[in-house]
């Protein structure tokens, strides 16, 4: 997990649900590299073509509400987002996003201090997000150790892989 994350900001409103991130008509697509070309088609149509790896999403309340579709954070990860920050998240999206190893940070009040294309600087240990242009900042409670561990491992797949590999009594063959 990177201690400091800095990137160009895309702002979003409240209640951007998963249909707006990946529309229902794309749910049979499971290749993240195709999904990323459809990402935020309803919520922020220019994002897919104009975003750059490392860009940071800053949303208002209830980002990712609606369905359990992992296509939504998969597409955002494939698009290379450096972090997703919001005043608040819907719970399944939050879990999915963390499980995929995306720094996902709930920071009430964060949306109000950013405009599009400002630069955000996130200090994970200190729990602060700063607008580099204006100097404005908000703090957030540091993630619980459980989730820090998940991000340190790079996501749930790697965390469980290590756990299974380290099981002394496990008869499961371990993949290379």
Residues that bind another protein (CB under 8 A): 15, 17, 19-20, 23-30, 42, 61-62, 65-71, 73-74, 88-92, 95-96, 99-100, 144, 146, 155-157, 160-161, 163-165, 172-175
Angle at CA 106, nearest 5°, toward 140 and 67?
170
In whole angstroms, give the CA distance from residue 56 to residue 52. 9
End-to-end CA distance of the chain: 23
Judged by beta carbon, residue 100 or residue 113, the one nearer another protein is: 100
Query: How many angstroms from the chain centroid is the CA of residue 49?
Result: 18
Q: Please identify, using beta-carbon distances, which residue of 70 and 118 lies nearer to another protein.
A: 70
CB of 132 to another protein, least distance (A): 30
Q: How far apart are CA 56 and CA 136, in angstroms?
A: 16
Nearer residue to another protein within complex by CB, 4 or 42: 42
Nearer to another protein, 50 or 170 (CB): 170
Residue 53 CB, nearest distance to another protein (Å)? 21
Nearest distance from C-beta of residue 37 to another protein, angstroms: 15
Any idea how long the chain is?
176
CB of 13 to another protein, least distance (A): 12
Task: Judge whether 27 and 140 are in contact, CB under 8 Å.
Answer: no
Helical axes 91-99 vs 71-78, angle rounded to 10°:
50
What is the closest distance, in whole angstroms, from the C-beta atom of residue 19 to another protein in the complex?
A: 5
Taking the least distance from each CB to another protein, the nearer of 52 and 162 is 162
The Cα 152–Cα 174 span in angstroms is 21
Q: Which is nearer to another protein, 99 or 131 (CB)?
A: 99
Alpha carbon 24 to its chain's center: 20
CB of 173 to another protein, least distance (A): 6
């Amino acid at each position: 997990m990177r201690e400091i994350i800095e990137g160009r900001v895309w702002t979003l409103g409240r209640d951007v649900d998963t249909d707006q991130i990946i529309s229902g008509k794309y749910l049979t697509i499971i290749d993240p590299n195709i999904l990323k070309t459809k990402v935020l088609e309803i919520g922020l149509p220019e994002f897919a073509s104009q975003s750059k790896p490392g860009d940071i999403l800053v949303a208002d309340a209830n980002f990712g509400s609606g369905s359990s579709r992992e296509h939504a954070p998969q597409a955002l990860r494939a698009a290379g987002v450096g972090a997703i920050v919001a005043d608040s998240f819907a719970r399944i999206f939050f879990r999915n996003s963390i499980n995929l190893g995306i720094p996902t940070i709930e920071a009430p009040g964060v949306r109000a201090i950013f405009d599009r294309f400002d630069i955000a600087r996130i200090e994970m240990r200190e729990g602060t997000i700063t607008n580099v242009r204006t100097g404005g900042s908000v703090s957030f409670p540091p993630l619980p150790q459980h989730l820090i561990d998940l991000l340190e491992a790079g996501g749930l797949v790697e965390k469980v892989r290590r756990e299974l590999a380290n099981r002394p009594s496990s008869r499961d063959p371990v993949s290379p």
